[in-house]
Amino acid sequence: MIQINPFTETEVSDADDLDLVNRIKGGDRDALELLVKRHQAWIYNIVLRMVYVRQDAEDATQEILIKIITKLSTFQGRSSFRTWLYRIAINHILNMKRGRAEQMEWTFTKYGDGLSSAPDADLPDPKSVPVDVQLLVDEARIGCTTGMLLCLDREQRLTYILGEIFGITDTAGADLLEITRENFRQKLARARRDLHSFMQDKCGLVNKANPCRCAKKTQAFIKAGYLDPHNLLFASAHVQRVRGLAENKHEDVNSLDAAYAEIHRDHPFQNPPDFIASLRKLMDRPDFKSILEV
């Protein structure tokens, strides 16, 4: 179930959220489930791009959802509900412990050296793998370009994910990060510069002069354990792309920046696990209603 884009400038979706919040405060469990279903996919997709490892993303998303539920009574309406909700998510993301991928302490130099040292090879025999070979190439492409984000520091990475991949406006970005619009634009410009400079130097997806090719590296990624043909983390045959859900509204992006951003916006918008089942333990507590009361 793909949710509405929470970063669009529509009052209707926020009004719908507020209606659900009022029902939740009255103890309506169905309303709580609807609120979680509305936002869990967006939170999960932001976190997944931050931490790379699916299990880490699932754990962090569940922590965020629990935090949102238990803090509902503190919402005072000083900002839009969506701003309040995603501030909780973003603050959690910025302050959470480092995940397994972050512990690798990737830099662009280290990442580039790893790509250069991965030997080129022909694609595997289609009869030797359990999925279509093109899906393996897609997995290599999406995994590699997602991994590049880990070379940005956490704040840069989050700014890039919000502003460039999900295309939120500088107004919304500034509200979420509680900074000025100019500061948000500056942070986004620095993240673009660092990431796109690396891609211009190493990645063959846009700069055809670069020798690195996803199809040529697929076998190396499999042998190194970064790609498991039996358990694809990113690629699937039928997916909804980020670009179909998040319009990029930035007017200061030049054509080359837009081309590099499109590589990440072509990634799938991943369906999250359903967090409702685990959250029901919280909802089943005898004091659940009192948790939600102001």
pLDDT in tens, 213-238: 999 999 999 999 999 999 999 988 76
Q: Which residues contact 179 (CB under 8 A, 6 or more apart)?
A: 187
The total of structural domains in the chain comes to 1
Asked whether residue 1 carries a pLDDT value surpassing 60, the answer given is: no
User: What span, in angstroms and rounded, lies between the C-alpha atoms of 255 and 243?
Assistant: 16
Q: How far is residue 179 CA from its own chain's centroid?
A: 21
Sign of the Cα torsion 58, 60, 66, 68 reads negative
> Do the domain assignments include residue 220?
yes
* pLDDT at res. 291: 66
For the chain, what is the largest distance between any 2 Cα atoms, rounded to a whole number of angstroms?
Answer: 64
pTM for the full predicted model: 0.92
Does residue 4 lie within any of the structural domains?
no
Give the confidence band of 244 by pLDDT, cuts at 50, 70, 90. confident
pLDDT, one tens digit per residue, over 16-36 is 899 999 898 888 889 999 999
Output the 3-class SS for the chain.
Answer: CCCCCCCCCCHHHHHHHHHHHHHHHCCCHHHHHHHHHHHHHHHHHHHHHHHCCHHHHHHHHHHHHHHHHHCHHHCCCCCCHHHHHHHHHHHHHHHCCCCCCHHHCCCHHHHHHHHHHCCCCCCCCHHHCCCCHHHHHHHHHHHHHHHHHHHCCHHHHHHHHHHHHCCCCHHHHHHHHCCCHHHHHHHHHHHHHHHHHHHHHHECCCCCCCCECHHHHHHHHHHHCCCCCCCCCCCCCCCCEHHHCCCCCCCCCCHHHHHHHHHHHCCECCCCCCCHHHHHHHHCCCCHHHHHCC
Residue 14 pLDDT grade (very low, low, confident, very high; cuts 50, 70, 90): confident
- pLDDT of 183 above 50: yes
End-to-end CA distance of the chain: 31
Percent of the chain whose predicted confidence (pLDDT) is above 90: 70
Cβ pair 95, 116 in contact under 8 A: no
Burial class (CB in 10 A: 0-12, 13-18, 19+), 269: buried
User: Is 263 part of a structural domain of the chain?
Assistant: yes
Pick from 67-71, 138-142, 221-225, 289-293: least confident = 289-293
Task: State the residue range of the domain holding 114.
Answer: 11-292
Listed ranges 24-28, 106-110, 249-253; the one with the highest mean pLDDT: 106-110
Q: Is residue 3 part of a domain?
A: no
pLDDT at 282 over 80: no
Amino acid 294: pLDDT: 46
Residue 258 resides in a domain: yes
Residue 248 binned pLDDT confidence (cut-offs 50, 70, 90): low
Structure tokens given for 138: 């897609």
Q: pLDDT at residue 239 above 90? A: no
What percentage of the chain carries pLDDT values higher than 70? 92
* Average pLDDT for 279-293: 74
Q: What is the rounded distance in angstroms from the CA atom of residue 284 to the CA atom of residue 183?
A: 43
In a domain? residue 1: no
pLDDT over 80 (residue 293): no
